[in-house]
C-alpha cells in the first residue's frame, strides 16, 4: 500500500476537511447497489480506518442514516453545504471505525483497492484485476488482511467495548 498517512482531503466546496493520521487498515471497492446509487457511479472506494485517525480540520459533516444490507445502519456523512459524501460508518462493524471515501483525497494517485466486494452487482464492464481478490458479498477480515491491520481492528473493537 502506498503511504497515505498525512494525506488530506475534503468535500467539493472545501468546508469539510480531514487528515489521515495513519495509513488505512484496508482499502476496498464496494460494488453494491447502495454504493452505486449514492455515488452515481459503478462502485465506491473506501479507506477503512480508525475514526480517531481521521483528524477533522474543517466543518463537521452531517449524516444520513441508511439501512445497509446487513439490516444495521449505514451512516453516510456529507458536507452540509455541497453535499459531497466524505465518510461512512457501517454500524454492523463494532469498532469506532470509518470508511473514508477515497475519491475525496486531494491526491488519489496512491489509492488502489486491495479487494473488491459485492461484485454480484458489479457492472459487467468493470474488470477486476487478476491479482486482487473479489467477493460476491463480504469476506472474513482474518482471511484477507495483514496481521498488523487485523490486530488494529481487534484492538479498536476491544477499546470500543471497554474491555
Ligand atoms: Zn462541501
Ligand atoms: Zn457498498
Could you tell me if residue 2 is inside a domain?
no
Which residue would you say has higher pLDDT here, 76 or 161? 76
Q: How far is the CA of 17 from the centre of ligand 1 (A)?
A: 9
Is 1 inside any structural domain?
no
Ligand 2 centre to CA of 133 (Å) is: 16
Averaged pLDDT for residues 42-50? 98
26: number of Cβ within 10 Å: 22
Domain that holds residue 124: 8-160
Tens-digit pLDDT profile for residues 88-145: 999 999 999 999 999 999 999 989 999 999 999 999 999 999 999 999 999 999 999 9
User: All 3 cell numbers of residue 150?
Assistant: 487485523
Res 35: pLDDT: 96
Q: Give the closest ligand to the alpha carbon of residue 45.
A: 2
Instruction: Specify the number of domains making up the chain.
Output: 1
Q: In this structure, is residue 40 part of a structural domain?
A: yes
Q: Examine the pLDDT at 50 and tell me if it is beyond 70.
A: yes
The CATH number linked to 62 is 3.90.1590.10
User: Is pLDDT of 160 > 90?
Assistant: no
Q: Assess if residue 3 is contained within a domain.
A: no
| pLDDT at position 70 | 84
Rounded to whole angstroms, the Cα distance separating 90 from 93 reads: 6
Ligand nearest to the CA of 86: 1
Cα–ligand 2 centroid distance for 151 (angstroms): 24
Amino acid at each position: 500500500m502506498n503511504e497515505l498517512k498525512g494525506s488530506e482531503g475534503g468535500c467539493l466546496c472545501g468546508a469539510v476537511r480531514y487528515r489521515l493520521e495513519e495509513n488505512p487498515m484496508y482499502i476496498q471497492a464496494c460494488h453494491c447497489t447502495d454504493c452505486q446509487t449514492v455515488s452515481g457511479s459503478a462502485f465506491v472506494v473506501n479507506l477503512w480506518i480508525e475514526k480517531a485517525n481521521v483528524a477533522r480540520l474543517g466543518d463537521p459533516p452531517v449524516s444520513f442514516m441508511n439501512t445497509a444490507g446487513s439490516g444495521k445502519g449505514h451512516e453516510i456523512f456529507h458536507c452540509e453545504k455541497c453535499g459531497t459524501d466524505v465518510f461512512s460508518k457501517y454500524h454492523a462493524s463494532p469498532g469506532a471505525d470509518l470508511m473514508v471515501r477515497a475519491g475525496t483525497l486531494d491526491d488519489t494517485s496512491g489509492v488502489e483497492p486491495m479487494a473488491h466486494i459485492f461484485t454480484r452487482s458489479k457492472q459487467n464492464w468493470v474488470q477486476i484485476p487478476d491479482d486482487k481478490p473479489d467477493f460476491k458479498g463480504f469476506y472474513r477480515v482474518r482471511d484477507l488482511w495483514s496481521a498488523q491491520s487485523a490486530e488494529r481492528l481487534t484492538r479498536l473493537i476491544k477499546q470500543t467495548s471497554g474491555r
